[in-house]
């Protein structure tokens, strides 16, 4: 029988893992146990603090549903998803976090179409266009582009019963010249949901909930690593203080006033560069 002590507990817990455990699961949980035990030792975590943390996570689960993921929100607040993105995309300057508001099966549109199903009174229509290039700098035809954004009230359609289903979401495809064009709203900065444990966390840390104004993207093409990204408005007051640390200089764009004759208020031009995926590199 092992006499459990401060010094042997961590190794004893790790050694209890079964031999059939999947290797990656073993690696992740072994590291997690090691770091959590070290954390408790370093901070000398007390039982009331531990119970409070458990209750905090229980509340995060209780407030989550199909349209709200409080765990991703808190991971964003702590910079976890940004770090995973930086590592996972090997420093690609055009990627950032997905965020919790992505929905599959958005409607498909032709280039130049508008994803604005219900124009808010304070909405400013924007033409967002550019070219998708491959790893050799050649225009990429047939690349899939997904775009989504909140309305000017700061709410995505799935958070707001007043908006039509799938409002401000759309799927596009680059033409034979690799060109794409989307009509959308100039994005508005908005607070991440702060009425739950994520908001409590922000307040405990003396932080604000505001996200820099942004438009979400996924760009994908056969044989290439997809890009998950957001474009940020350079003039936004939160450009240097995004609540989730997701802004990269390379994703900041200028909303230029549209020239006379165009049906939009602003124009943004932005090009994307897709890297070949591992299979394409190996070929």
Residues that bind Fe ion (CB under 5 A): 99
Q: Cβ-closest residue to Fe ion? A: 99
CB 192 within 8 A of CB 214: no
- State phi, psi for 28 to the nearest 5 degrees: -65, -45
Q: Residue 266 gets which letter from DSSP?
A: E
Query: Which C-beta is closer to Fe ion: that of 140 or that of 213?
Result: 213
Nearer to Fe ion, 99 or 199 (CB): 99
Kindly state the tokens that stand for 149.
Answer: 């954004």
In the complex with Fe ion, which residue's Cβ is closer, 156 or 272?
156
Closest to 182 measured CA to CA, from 217, 234, 135, 140: 217
Burial class (CB in 10 A: 0-12, 13-18, 19+), 137: exposed
Continuous segment of H or E residues that includes residue 130: strand 125-133
Closest contact distance (angstroms) between CB of 101 and Fe ion is 5
In the complex, the smallest distance separating the C-beta of residue 62 from Fe ion, rounded to whole angstroms, is 23
Q: How far is the CB of 59 from Fe ion (least distance, A)?
A: 23
Give 99 or 130: the residue with its C-beta nearer to Fe ion.
99
224: left (phi over 0), alpha (psi -120 to 50) or beta: beta
Q: How many angstroms separate the CA atoms of 40 and 50, rounded?
A: 9
Q: Give the strand pairing for 210-211 and 190-191.
A: antiparallel
Nearer to Fe ion, 191 or 223 (CB): 191
Least Å distance between CB 99 and Fe ion?
5
Complex with Fe ion: residue 99 or 209, whichever CB lies closer: 99
Tell me whether residue 96 or residue 174 sits nearer to Fe ion (CB atom). 96
CB of 159 to Fe ion, least distance (A): 11
Q: Nearest distance from residue 249's CB to Fe ion, in Å?
A: 19
Nearer to Fe ion, 99 or 170 (CB): 99
Q: Rounded to whole angstroms, what are the CA distances from 192 to 55, 181, 220, 260?
A: 22, 28, 27, 36
CB of 221 to Fe ion, least distance (A): 23
DSSP string, 36-78: HHHHHHHHT--HHHHHHHHHHHHHHHHH-BTTB-HHHHHHHHT
Find the shortest distance in angstroms from Cβ 30 to Fe ion: 35
Q: Are 189 and 208 in contact (CB under 8 A)?
A: no
| Tokens 């307040």, located at residue | 203
């Amino acid at each position: 029988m092992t006499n459990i002590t401060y010094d042997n507990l961590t190794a004893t817990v790790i050694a209890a893992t079964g031999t059939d455990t999947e290797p990656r699961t073993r690696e992740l949980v072994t590291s997690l146990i090691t770091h959590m035990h070290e954390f408790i030792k370093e901070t000398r975590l007390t039982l009331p603090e531990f119970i409070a943390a458990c209750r905090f996570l229980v509340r995060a689960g209780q407030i989550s549903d199909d349209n709200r993921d409080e765990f991703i929100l808190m991971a964003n607040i702590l910079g976890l998803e940004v770090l995973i993105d930086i590592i996972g995309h090997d420093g690609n300057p055009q990627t950032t976090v997905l965020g919790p508001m992505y929905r599959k099966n958005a409607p498909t549109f032709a280039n130049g179409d508008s994803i604005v199903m219900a124009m808010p009174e304070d909405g400013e229509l924007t033409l967002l266009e550019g070219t998708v290039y491959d790893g050799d700098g050649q225009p990429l035809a047939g690349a899939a582009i997904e775009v989504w954004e909140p309305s000017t009230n700061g709410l995505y359609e799935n958070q707001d019963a007043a908006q039509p289903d799938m409002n401000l979401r759309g799927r596009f495809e680059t033409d034979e010249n690799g060109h794409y064009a989307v009509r959308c709203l100039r994005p508005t900065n908005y607070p991440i949901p702060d009425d739950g444990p994520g908001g409590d966390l922000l307040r405990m840390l003396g932080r604000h909930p505001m996200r820099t104004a942004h438009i979400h993207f996924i760009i994908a093409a056969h044989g290439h690593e997809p890009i998950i990204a957001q474009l940020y408005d350079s003039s936004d007051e939160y450009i240097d203080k995004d609540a989730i640390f997701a802004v990269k200089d390379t994703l900041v764009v200028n909303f230029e006033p549209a020239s006379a004759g165009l049906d939009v208020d602003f124009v943004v031009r932005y090009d994307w560069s897709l890297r070949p995926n591992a299979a394409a590199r190996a070929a």
